[in-house]
Amino acid sequence: MPRTLRAIPTLLKVGFAEAVAYRAEMVVWLLSTNMPLVMLALWTAVARDAPVGRFGQRDFVAYYLATLVVRLLTGAWVIWELNYEIRQGTLAFRLLRPVHPLLAYAAENLSALPVRMLVSLPIALGALLVVGRDRLTGDPLLLALFPVTVLGAWLITFLAMAIIGALAFWIDQAGSLFEIWLGLFGVFSGYLVPLELFPHWVATAARFLPFRYMLAFPVEMIIGMTPRPVALAELAVQWTFVVALALGARGAWALGLRRFAAFGG
């Protein structure tokens, strides 16, 4: 463990250097996360004459700008790295290193966040503070817990990707299964439409799935839609998902490695 901890700063530096080197790829990723802005324009037009549920125009603005901020902070891409490296056999190089590959992937994914935040977050966060400031929660405890919820959302995202990516040990294209995951994420996370605007059964089902805790929970908490007791209860649920997915990723990785074989020449 001490050797692993000493390696983390180096992994973060390498990941940061890669993020800077692949600037064009980063810009493409940023452009691909603009869906909240599209939905913001759509729903503010719908709510021009009358609120939709309890959402007026300013509520939609605060919701989708907060959604954009959380989405930018919780991005990960380990699924594509795992799928590629397992199929190509280059995972073998990672296995020779004295650091667990999943920890190395996590450090590389996290180290790109400062670059992404530097480019995009000031704009999104500034717009949220200017346009939707009166909708943000005034509860100091919830404001303090917001980074914890974002970290939990990132961990759920990363660990779920790691589990699906590990399926590449058994199947050719784990990325195809991830497309199904993304479809479910779009519905049950509140990414496209606030969950309470769906039929009641959808919102109820979302509370038993991890997608809500990847996005809707931190968003609803920071814009004051979730009272403190409910927020604390949901925080416990979010971190229960984190622990369960961490165990799942560890198990999938251990089982998958038994099938892994790479040949070089």
Tokens representing residue 140 in the block: 């100091």
> Which one is predicted more confidently, 19 or 131?
131
The phi, psi pair for 262, rounded to 5°, reads: -135, 145
Alpha helices in 96-193 (DSSP H): 101-111, 113-131, 140-166, 174-188
**Could you give the percent of the chain with pLDDT greater than 70?**
88
Tokens representing residue 264 in the block: 């070089």
CA distances from residue 44 to 56, 58, 63, 67, 133 in whole angstroms, order as listed = 8, 8, 11, 15, 17
User: What is the model's pTM?
Assistant: 0.87
pLDDT, residue 58, reads: 87
> Is 28's pLDDT higher than 90?
no
The predicted model gives 46-56 an average pLDDT of 87
Contact (Cβ atoms closer than 8 angstroms) between residue 53 and residue 43: no
> Which one is predicted more confidently, 18 or 78?
78
CA–CA dist 248, 226 (Å, integer): 29
pLDDT, residue 255, reads: 92
**Which amino acid is present at 70?**
V
Contact (Cβ atoms closer than 8 angstroms) between residue 79 and residue 161: yes
Residues in the chain: 265
Domain boundaries, given as residue ranges, for the chain: 1-259
Tokens representing residue 154 in the block: 């990132």
Return the SS3 of 52: strand
Going by pLDDT thresholds of 50, 70 and 90, the confidence category of residue 219 is: very high
Most confident of 1-5, 43-47, 155-159: 155-159
pLDDT, residue 98, reads: 80
> Which one is predicted more confidently, 16 or 265?
16
Most confident of 64-68, 148-152, 168-172: 148-152
Going by pLDDT thresholds of 50, 70 and 90, the confidence category of residue 113 is: confident
Q: Tokens 């324009």 — which residue? A: 41
**Could you give the percent of the chain with pLDDT greater than 90?**
34
**Which amino acid is present at 90?**
T
> Is 232's pLDDT higher than 90?
yes
Single out the residue of 206, 183, 184 nearest to residue 195, CA to CA.
Answer: 206
